[in-house]
Amino acid sequence: MCNSFLIPLAGWARMKTRKLGRTDLEVSEIGFGALEIGRPWGLPIEGDFAIPSERDVEVLLDRLLELGINFIDTAPAYMLSEERLGRLLKHRRKELYLASKCGEYFDGYESRYDFSTAGTLQFIETSLKRLQTDYLDLVQIHCGPDEAEIIRRGEALEGMLRAKRQGKARWVGASCEVDGARAALEMNAYDVLQLPYSLLCRLIEGKDPSGDSALSRAARLGVGIIAREPLARGKLTDKIRQAPDGDAAVQKAQALLGRLAQRGVGTPLSQIAIQFVLRRPEVGMVLVGTRNARHLEDAVQAAARPLDTELLAELEAWPV
């Protein structure tokens, strides 16, 4: 189910929204992943790991709200991200949904994990203080090693559910891979799953021995799907032309660029990648992580129009 609201900018299309599974969250089709505003991240390209200034972050946040993006995803492991969001958005809290995570902390050198019930509650309390808010619209396990076992153990889930009962979290989820998603769907206690999904990673479409996929089962159970890494961590953008050759995913992306050029396709690869993920109605939202407002504008433009049907058929058959 999709709705739309008007972007208050002349010449821009309407930003559509989708209901996120069984939650009451009507989320913009494009969400903002706030990793890069707080932690170095990017491709091995000169200048791609820079953290923006707080003023640049403020401009970025103002712009994304102008564009109609109403969902921001952050985490304690994103270093400065939560604190910056808290300082810059506390006066606009009612205009957006805030999601954070629990279980992983990154100190600049390595990740540390705590998926205990007590640890989960502490993560949530700390995030609330940093974000300067009384509640999270969504709290998710930030899965690490042995994610399926962590999910089945249920300690982090219990902590999140306690926070929900206390009014500190409205919905609970897990940010994981497909193995973790299958474990979470077995329990049917999670409202939302955040999963990697792109032209280069279509594992959530893959069938298990019963003939089911994580994507289709989530839809049947009313579990919302947030698609993360739709641009494959920058590989499905024009930046891939500058990336060192050798990585298999890089080679596939470069091959795709070549095929698009041969067909005379003028649409940027990044927009095609967004459109490809949004073609699936089971996807509630596509999460775009960036520190550049132009990338968000690009994603919003992509979401405003469907993928060409002939090109879509070719991409559906493209080996990954």
Instruction: Look at residues 168, 93, 153 and name the one whose alpha carbon lies nearest to residue 117.
Output: 153
CA–centroid distance for 96 within its chain: 15
pLDDT of residue 12: 65
Enter the tokens of residue 285.
């939202």
The whole-number pLDDT of residue 45 equals: 54
- The pLDDT value recorded for residue 203 is 96
pLDDT at 4: 40
DSSP for 127-181, written as a single string = HHHHHT-S-BSEEEEE--TTHHHHHHH-HHHHHHHHHHHTTSBS-EEEE--HHHH
- Residue 16 to residue 30: CA distance in whole angstroms: 9
Query: Residue 158: what pLDDT?
Result: 98
Q: Quickly tell me which residue has 């559910």 as its tokens.
A: 161
**pTM, two decimal places:** 0.93
Spatial contact of 84 and 38, defined as CB atoms under 8 Å apart: yes
Give the chain's domains with CATH numbers.
Answer: 2-316 (3.20.20.100)
* Residue 250: per-residue pLDDT: 82
The tens-digit pLDDT sequence of the chain (320 residues) is 444 433 445 556 679 999 999 999 999 999 999 999 998 766 555 556 678 999 999 999 999 999 999 999 999 999 999 999 999 999 999 999 999 999 999 888 899 999 999 999 999 999 999 999 999 999 999 998 899 999 999 999 999 999 999 999 999 999 999 999 999 999 989 999 999 999 999 999 999 888 899 999 999 999 999 999 999 988 898 877 777 766 788 888 888 888 888 888 888 999 999 999 999 999 999 999 999 999 999 999 999 999 999 999 999 988 76
CA distance linking residue 272 with residue 145, whole number of Å: 32
Report helix, strand or coil for 295: helix
CA 128, CA 169: separation in Å to the nearest integer? 10
